[in-house]
Amino acid sequence: MLQQEEKPTGNGKELPYRYDGKLKVMGKATYAAEFPVKDVLHAWMVLSTIPSGEVVSMDTTLADRSSGVVKILTPFNAPKLPGIKPQPPAIRKLSLLQDRIVYYNCEPIGLVVAKSLDEARYAASLIKIKYNTTPGKLSFDKRLDQKRPPKQGNAPPKEDHGEETEAWAKATTVLEQTYTTPLHNHNPLEPHATIAMWEGENLTVYDATQYVSGVRQSLAKHFALPLDNVRCIDPYVGGGFGSKGSMWSHVVLAAMAAKVTGQPVKLVLDRTQMFGPVGGRPATTQHIKLGTDATGKLVAMRHNVIEPASVMEDFIEPSAQQTSMLYECKQIAIDTELVDMNIGVQTFMRAPGEATGTAALETAMDELALKLGMDPLELRLKNYAEKDPGEQKEFTSKHLREAYKDAADRFEWSTRPRTPGTKTEGNKLVGYGMATATYPANRSAAMAAIKLLPNGRIAISSGTQDLGTGTYTIMAQTVEQETGIPWQMVDVKLGDSSLPKAPVSGGSQSAASVMPAIQDACKQLQLKLATLAITDSTSPFFNAASDDVLLSNGELRSKSNPSKIEPLSASITRNKGAAIEEKGSGEPSQEAERALSAHSWGAIFTEVAVDKTTWMVEVRRVVATYDIGLLLNQKTGKSQLEGGIVWGISLALEEDSHLDNVYGRVVNNNLGEYHVPVNADVQSIEVNVVGIPDLKFNPQGARGIGEIGITGIAAAINNAVFNATGKRVRSFPITPDKLQAA
Ligand code: MOS
C-alpha cells in the first residue's frame, strides 16, 4: 500500500516543481512590502522600554523638527477608534495608542511617519518618554504557584474521562515527570509588513498575512467600515508559521497613519521587532503522570500544563490536547492553567499544542517503556487507539500501525542497542530513539472561481493564501487533474480578499478546504460547457444527455462514445468569444464532523551522535513515515514534511527565546542568537507516507501536512540522546550545558 519513495513526479498528475518557484528564484514574486506605491510614507513603531506601567508624557519637540518627519502619533494625539473588536484568529488584543497603559516591554506606544525609513527611525530615537513604572510580572518559573484557570481559550481547559482514583489504584507501574519548553518566536524570513492606502472611505492594504479575509474583517471593524470598503492583498507570503494567522497592532497603526497623513504608509517590522510586538509560542511546564498494569497497558493518564499568559489576553498553547486521543486508555485527565505575565499576547506557532505536547508526552512514553522494560515501539503498539478515547468516536481513517512498521523497517529499529550508552564511535556516543507524531485534520468551508478564457487558458482563483506551503502548486495541479488542461495553461490567483472567500491558512487546512471548492468549480464549468454544447445544433453534442459530456484531456468528450470530442475553443466561439465563468464551493459535512474524529499520524525514528567532551548533539538520521491520507504531490509534499522535521530538530536542540526577568525583553532578539538549524545541523531525513486516501475526511482523501512534521521529532531526538548517553533532559532545548549537568 505504501507509495514508492521515488515515484516519478511531473507525469501530468503532479506538478514537477513549485508553481511559484521560478518567480521566487528570479526574485520576481512581489511580497507585501515590495508593492510599488506612489508617494508612500514610511512608518517606524516606537516601542515601550518598560514592562509595566503607564506613559506619562512623550516629548516629540525634537523629533517633530527632525528631517523628513511628517507625523508622529502617540497615545496623546492618536485618533480614537470606534473600538469594535473582532475575534481571533483575525486579531489578538492590540496596542493602538488608545490609552497610556503599558502591558509589556516592546509594546507599540507611538508611530513616527516620515519620508524615508531612516528618517522615521532616527526621529523615533529623539522622542523623550516619561513613564510611571509599576512592578512587572516577569518570572514564569518562579511564579508557577500563581497559576489560575484560563478565562477563555482555544483548548479544552479540563477533560476528565472516567473514575480517576479507581483507575490509578489499578496502576502497577507509574511514571511521573515534569517537562518544560521555552518561549519561541516564529521568525519567518519575511517579517510582518503592511502598506496601507485610503481612497475616501475605502481602505486597501498589502499585508503579510495567512488570512486575507480575516485582516479585511478586522480592519473593517476597527475603523467601523462596511466590509466592502476594505481589501487585503498578499499574493506571496515569506513564511508565517502561525505568526501571520492573527493580525497585530502594526496593521491598524499603518492604516491609522495613512488616514491621518492622507498618504499611503508602509510599516515593516525589523527583526528585533519580531520578538515582542507580535506574539510567540508560550513557554510550557508540563506535568505528566502515566500508569499501566503489569502488561504495559495504560490504565490512567494525566497531563497538566502551566503556561504564561499575557496580562492583556489569555492564549492557550493546547499542549495536553493530543494526550486525550493518542493512546487507548479509559482514564485520561488533561488541563491547562495560566500564570499572568507582562508579555505580549501569545499565539499559534506551527502545530500549536502538539509540537510542545508531543515533546513531553512522547518523552514520558519512552521513560515509561524503560520502567516497564519494554521496547518503546512495543509500548505504543500495546496502547494503540483504534478509536478516539477522548471523544469516544471512530477515526475517519488511521493507519499509524503501517507507519510504525514502515519507518521501523527502513530504520532497522530492531537491530539497535537497547542498553543506553553502549555504542561508541571514537569520542561519540551513538543512540537511537523513536516517537509518535500527530496533528488534527482540519477543514473549513471555502469557495473558488474558475474561468475558461478566450485564449484557451484557464483561470482559477480563491481568497486563500500560500505561505510557502504550496497552495499555488496544488491549485494548478487540481485543475489539471479535474479537467485535463495542463497546469502550464492554468493561471492561479490567490491572496486577495476580493476573491471568493477561503479560510485562514492555519491549522494545516488550506489544501483540504480549498481543493474541494476547486473540484466543484471544475465540475460546474463542465456542466456549463455541456449545457452550451447540447443546445447548439452545430455541436457534435447537440441534444446529448448532459451527463454524457465530460471535460477531460482539456476537451469535451462523450462518455458513451469516447471518439466524440470537441475542442474547448468551440465553447468559447459558442459563447460569442467571451470567457466562461463558474463558481464552486466545498464544506465539510457537519454530520461526519460530529460523528468522526479526524487526525493525522506519524512514526519517527532518529539516530544521534553525542560528543563526550562538548555534549553537542548531532542528528544524523531521521526516518519518518506519515499517515496523512493521500499525499497530493510527492515532491513538494515530502519537502513540506521534511521542513517540519527540520523545525522539530530546532525545537529539540536550539530554539529558545530568553526573556530577562528584570525588563521582560527577549535578550536574544536576533537571528544570530536565536538559533535555528542551518544546513550543517541537518543531515539525512527520509520521509515516506502510507498514502491511503481518507475519503471520509474530504473528496480527495487528503489531510493537511503543514504542521504534523514538527510533532514527535523533539521527543524522538530526546529519546535517542538518552539511548546514546543514559542522560535524560526534561527541559527543551537539549543544549550541551543541560546534557553535561544531567
Ligand atoms: Mo498554523 S500555527 O495553524 O498557522
Atom of ligand 1 at shortest range from CA of 508:
3
Q: Which class is domain 21-28+444-587?
A: alpha beta
**Rounded distance, CA 557 to CA 541, Å?**
9
Cβ neighbors of 435 (< 8 A, separation 6 or more) are 358, 362, 363, 365, 366, 604, 712, 713, 715, 716, 719
**Ligand 1 center to residue 512 CA distance, Å?**
15
Of ligand 1's listed atoms, the one at least distance from the Cα of 240 is 4
3-state helix, strand and coil shares in percent for the chain, rounded to the nearest 5? 30, 25, 45
Specify whether 707 is catalytic: yes
The two beta strands, 393-395 and 596-597, are parallel
**674-691: pLDDT as tens digits:** 999 999 999 999 999 999
- CA 451 – ligand 1 centroid, Å: 31
Tell me whether domains 21-28+444-587 and 32-134+191-274 share a fold.
Answer: yes
Q: How large is the C-alpha radius of gyration of the chain?
A: 27
| Any atom of ligand 1 within 6 Å of the Cβ of 704 | no
Separation of alpha carbons 519 and 511, rounded Å: 12
Per-residue pLDDT tens over the stretch 230-284? 999 999 999 999 999 999 999 999 999 999 999 999 999 999 999 999 999 999 9
Residue 13's pLDDT is 77
281 Cβ closer than 6 Å to some ligand 1 atom: no
Mutate to test the pocket of ligand 1, among 154, 237, 348 (most ligand atoms within 8 A of CB): 348
Are 610 and 428 a contacting pair, CB within 8 Å? yes
From the number of C-beta atoms within 10 Å of its C-beta (0-12, 13-18, 19+), residue 717 rates as buried
Q: d(Cα 607, Cα 614) in Å, to the nearest integer?
A: 18
Over range 558-563, report the average pLDDT.
Answer: 93
Distances (CA, A) of 253 to 45, 195, 260, 265: 9, 11, 10, 10
Task: State in Å: Cα 468 to ligand 1 middle.
Answer: 13
Instruction: From the CA of 210, give the closest atom in ligand 1.
Output: 4
| Residue-wise pLDDT tens digits, 433-456 | 999 999 999 999 999 999 999 999
Only one residue has cell 493546547, namely 318
For residue 63, pLDDT over 70 is answered with yes
Beta-bridged to residue 430, according to DSSP, are 609
Tell me what the mean pLDDT of segment 213-225 comes to: 96
352 lines ligand 1 (CB under 6 A): yes
Identify each DSSP E strand in 152-251 by its residue range: 158-161, 173-181, 193-199, 202-207, 230-233
pLDDT at 469 over 50: yes
- Ligand 1 centre to CA of 707 (Å) is 7
DSSP state of 56: E
| CATH entry 3.30.365.10 includes domain 32-134+191-274 | yes
With a 6 Å cutoff on the Cβ, whether 677 touches ligand 1 is no
In CATH, what number does 374-442+593-741 get?
Answer: 3.30.365.10
Q: Is the CB of 440 under 6 A from ligand 1?
A: no
Q: Domain residue spans in the chain?
A: 21-28+444-587, 32-134+191-274, 374-442+593-741
Could you tell me where the DSSP H helices lie in 89-222?
Answer: 117-125, 164-169, 212-222
Q: Is 350 in the pocket of ligand 1 (CB under 6 A)?
A: yes
Query: Please, what is the angle between helix 354-372 and helix 634-653, to 10°?
Result: 70
Mutate to test the pocket of ligand 1, among 354, 442, 707 (most ligand atoms within 8 A of CB): 707
CA of 131 to the centre of ligand 1 (A): 36
Is the predicted pLDDT of residue 471 greater than 60, yes or no?
Answer: yes
Which atom of ligand 1 approaches the CA of 350 most closely?
A: 2
